[in-house]
Amino acid sequence: MTATSATRGVGFRSERGPVLVALMLTTALVAIDSTIVATAVPSIVDDIGGFTSFPWLFSSYLLAQAVTVPIYAKLSDMIGRKPVVFIGIGLFLLGSVLCGFAWSMPVLIAARLVQGLGAGAVQPMAITIAGDIYTVAERAKVQGYLASVWAVSAVLGPTLGGTFASLGIWRAIFFVNVPVCLLAAWMLARSFHESVGRERHRVDVLGATLLTVALSLLMLALLEGGHAWAWDSPAGITIVVAGAVLLVLFVLVERRAAEPVLPAFVFTRRLLLTTTLIAFGVGAVLLGLTSYVPTYLQGVLGADPIVAGLALATLTIGWPIAASLSGRIYLRLGFRATNLIGVTLAVTGTGVLAIVVALSPTVLLVATGCFVVGLGLGFTSTPSIVAAQSSVEWSERGVVTGTNMFSRSVGSAFGVAVFGALSNAVYARLGNHGPDAIAEASSAVFLAAVVAAVLIAAAVLAMPKVMAPPA
């Protein structure tokens, strides 16, 4: 039960080149959308109102994306990757069109939720398909191609968003997705072919429902706790408790399910467990820095928003560089050793940021720290997900990839919540006064990022000492 693989070789001119382009276009949907919307928020609010509820433009999208990843992943192992990625592209296309025609903030939030439902299938399936059709030796280079999409989007997204907003046509930030969706779907339909068995499967509807609701509640608590409600408020406590109870019920149901949505082996195999924990930490560090580096540069150093954005973009530039180089290293030294190189760089980069803020802050030094962190995350994330994929067969690869991606999403939400609570506490203690308070709050966040990077290192050290399998 394998996807057909053409001749060896990675690149646009190889036989698999059209598939690679299609995967990059598919990834671009999520990558550009993650950066293009924020710059247009003021224009959106001026046009349709809803200032107090606009944060839900992001929360509804992230929530829908995160909680559906395990469901799509399991479906892809049952019916194939192609139908699932088409479902994702279709939902993303529908959500984009609905966003473009939205006449109020509640309608726009609902449309963003539809987009998120599509994104939950799009990104994991792109990585899973790459794992299906490329060898272990080739996957790191392919992951570099996919990561480069994020690097380009880090610059292209804010630029397009700001341009459309300044021209008074903010709806174009959603309509621009339409041709990309159609082109990606056409190229996948034309160039990607897979052979899936005709076994009968039993869909675990109860497990899927319990998992979706439980994760929705817990993700909601992480995303909105401390913002929409206090952590210790009745609403905050009730949501967490309800989510935890449903998660326990899900575990009990899955123990008896014929084909569980989230099989126990994902958490009982040492390699899969440690790579999942690594993904969690990567998500926390990535979103923590993404959220607070621009605020620090603008609020303390007085940097222009574009300069602040470019300084942060060095992080997403360092990632694909390391991702594309990691294959050569893990084929010679093994996955664990490559991950150790990565976390060493990540700890160093976050340490540079923490020291720079405290001693001699400049935009160049902050950008340098972000670049080193990006290198570290690239050398950590790519080898760990390739290691997880290479340890299982086709019938388990979707679930393994989906679990890894979901763990990163949860880590992102957790990181934003914890870093946000820490920043707010420091800022409030200093009386919410100007640049000094922002500097102290940012310093606390960057120190927390160092701690998170050290915890990633602990997970890497717990990885089994295995070399990369032969190409």
The residue among 198, 193, 186, 69 whose CA lies nearest residue 129 is: 193
The residue among 445, 282, 447 whose CA lies nearest residue 355 is: 447
Burial 129-152 (b: 16+ CB within 10 A, else e): bbbbbbbbbbbbbbbbbbbbbbbb
**Average pLDDT value for the chain:** 83
For position 468, what pLDDT does the model report?
63
- Angle between helical axes of 363-390 and 434-461 (0-180°, round to 10): 30
CATH superfamily of 10-192: MFS general substrate transporter like domains (1.20.1250.20)
Is 334 or 417 the better-scoring residue by pLDDT? Answer: 334
The 10s digit of each residue's pLDDT in 103-149 is 888 899 999 999 999 998 998 898 888 888 888 878 777 877 888 88
For position 4, what pLDDT does the model report?
44
The 10s digit of each residue's pLDDT in 60-84 is 888 888 888 888 888 888 888 889 9
Average pLDDT over residues 390-419: 83
For position 1, what pLDDT does the model report?
40
Query: Does position 330 have pLDDT exceeding 50, yes or no?
Result: yes
In the three-class reduction of DSSP (H, G, I as helix; E, B as strand; rest coil), residue 25 is classed as helix
Among the ranges 81-85, 212-216, 429-433, 453-457, which has the highest mean pLDDT value?
453-457
Give me the amino acid identity at 247: L
Query: Does position 41 have pLDDT exceeding 90, yes or no?
Result: no
For position 198, what pLDDT does the model report?
59
Cα separation of 174 and 102, whole Å? 10
The residue assigned the tokens 């990606």 is: 184
Give me the amino acid identity at 394: W
CA atoms within 13 A on the CB side of 44: 31
- 395: confidence class by pLDDT, cuts 50, 70, 90: confident
- 57: confidence class by pLDDT, cuts 50, 70, 90: confident
Cα separation of 149 and 146, whole Å? 5
User: Class for domain 263-471, per CATH?
Assistant: mainly alpha
Q: Where are the beta strands (DSSP E) in 298-444?
A: none
The 10s digit of each residue's pLDDT in 222-257 is 777 776 777 778 888 899 899 899 989 988 887 887
- 3: confidence class by pLDDT, cuts 50, 70, 90: very low
422, with CB counted inside 10 A (0-12, 13-18, 19+), is: middle
The residue among 114, 456, 87 whose CA lies nearest residue 277 is: 456
DSSP-derived secondary structure for 68-103: HHHHHHHHHHHH-HHHHHHHHHHHHHHHHHHHHH--
For position 293, what pLDDT does the model report?
82
For position 399, what pLDDT does the model report?
85
Cα separation of 314 and 294, whole Å? 12
Query: Does position 427 have pLDDT exceeding 80, yes or no?
Result: no
For position 390, what pLDDT does the model report?
85
For position 429, what pLDDT does the model report?
77
Is 34 or 453 the better-scoring residue by pLDDT? Answer: 453
Q: How far is the CA of 94 from the CAs of 106, 107, 112, 175, 231, in angstroms?
A: 17, 13, 10, 10, 35
Cα separation of 371 and 74, whole Å? 35
Token pair in block for residue 9: 């070789």
Taking CA 155 as the corner, what is the angle to CA 151 and CA 158, rounded to the nearest 5 degrees?
130
Domain boundaries, the chain: 10-192, 202-258, 263-471
> Among residues of the chain, what percentage have pLDDT more than 90?
23
Quick one: which H or E segment has residue 304?
Answer: none
The residue among 23, 263, 290 whose CA lies nearest residue 143 is: 23
